[in-house]
Amino acid sequence: MADSLLLPTFGCGPVRSRSAHAFEGRNGTTVQPPRVTRRRARLAGVAAVAGTLLLTGCGSDDNTGLPGAVDYTSDTIECGPAGTLLASGSTAQANAMEVWANAYMANCDEGQVNYKATGSGAGIQEFLQGTTAFGGSDSRMKDAEIEQSRAVCRDGGRAIHLPMVAGPVAIGYNLPDVDDLVLDADTLALIFDSRITHWDDPAIAELNPDADLPNTRITPFSRSDGSGTTDNFTSYLAASAPDSWPHEPDKVWHGRGGQSADGSSGLVGMVQQNVGAISYFELSYAHENGIPTVLVDTGAGDPVAATVENATTGIAAGEVIGTDGDLAMELDYTTDEPGAYPIVLITYEIMCDRGNDPETLELTLAFLNWTAGEEGQEMITRIDYAAIPDEIITQVRERLDAMT
């Protein structure tokens, strides 16, 4: 394992602690080890944890903070052994991972959880290199990557997908005095492919007859790093607007024109700083930063807002397509069910079905069994994530119980 990943800090420089109830620095969190047994989080204990030094990773997300204080008290966490759990990947799940890691470490002693938001592509690669216990990805692994995982997984094992985090990909924009902006798949495709270039374009005006749309130039921003969020957004465009979006879905952006930024927080910054900007990022980022989001016209009658509840309805339209214990899902981006928000993502934790590193397996299972439990899933709904549907998360728990 690389020496840099063995350090108790997971990045480049210190950041400020936020409060007794919420940590700063979603890219890697660290706590001084207390006892091994499970205990309820006390205010003094949480405050002590919040006072430890937390670092953010270079070039990765360092968002400004979770939306509101989160109570980390738990009655259900079953603590694992002493040790340090290293994981990395999806920035889409970084807020959820921060909450989960903080709660686990506030209730458990001698167990440290470090998650670095490097992006889905990097998270998969770091797992395949054997430097992390699990990787987070918002898109399914390629067949070649699963085959490559056999070199990391012992005892003939291979990597599988465990759906753990779900939620809407919001389309945020900066257009003063324009509220409740409605767009459909075709206009979004043409905007992000730089073929609709001004906000008063007739196609946008038709969808927003009561809005006073300015002649401001549209500046679409996309991710510069490989991203599962990009993969899900472009999958939506390709499925719902095939005549307007000529590019294949990918973690790498292929749209024409526009500008780019690193990570979801980079996109948020660009939207905030540029009038006329539009971009895509997880709903929690939009809410944290006060960015208005697009209502999507799916053809269902009423435009659908990006909300946790609407995302859950959209996710329920998908199905598990993985085999032999793999829980990879296929989402229905073309759903027109009333109240179903179509631009959704599932973040997977990537692990070996068997043959995981025995030195970290017990701690990994203790942490992930709790995140997949009712309390862990409910906790992240407070910060704009959608819980995984019961029929799916039950299978995740069963797979974790069978891990070796």
Q: Which helix (H) or strand (E) holds 381?
A: helix 374-381
Residue 64 marked as a ligand binder: no
* CB neighbourhood size of 5 (10 A): 16
> Where do we find the tokens 């809410």?
287
The tokens describing 304, both together, are 């659908």
The length of the chain is: 404
State the number of CA atoms in the 13 A half-sphere of 166 facing the CB. Answer: 31
The CA distance from 404 to 402, in Å, is: 7
Tell me if 194 is assigned to a ligand binding site: no
Q: Do the annotations mark residue 149 as ligand-binding?
A: no
Does 284 show up as a binding residue in the annotation?
A: no
143 is in an annotated binding site: no
- Do the annotations mark residue 264 as ligand-binding? no
What span, in angstroms and rounded, lies between the C-alpha atoms of 125 and 132?
Answer: 10
Tell me the C-alpha to C-alpha distance, in Å, between residue 185 and each of 77, 203, 212, 242, 398. Answer: 42, 12, 21, 9, 37
The number of beta carbons lying within 10 Å of the beta carbon of residue 246 is 14
Asked whether the beta carbons of 222 and 172 are under 8 A apart, the reply is no
Q: In this structure, is the dihedral angle defined by the CA atoms of residues 223, 382, 17 and 50, taken in order, positive or negative?
A: negative
Number of other CB atoms surrounding residue 115 within 10 Å = 28
Give me the residue label for tokens 């409060």.
Answer: 19
Rounded CA separation 206/215 (Å)? 15
How many whole angstroms separate alpha carbon 373 and alpha carbon 369? 6
How far are the Cα atoms of 101, 128, 314, 352, 357 from residue 1, in angstroms, in the given order? 21, 12, 39, 17, 12
Sign (positive or negative) of CA dihedral 254, 185, 279, 328: negative
229 is known to lie in a ligand binding site: yes
Shortest CA distance to 168 belongs to which of 343, 349, 374, 388? 343
Using DSSP's 3-state secondary structure scheme, residue 212 falls into coil
Q: How far apart are CA 104 and CA 74, in angstroms?
A: 9
Q: Which residues are annotated as a binding site?
A: 90-92, 120, 138, 227-229
Q: Which residues are annotated as a binding site for phosphate?
A: 90-92, 120, 138, 227-229
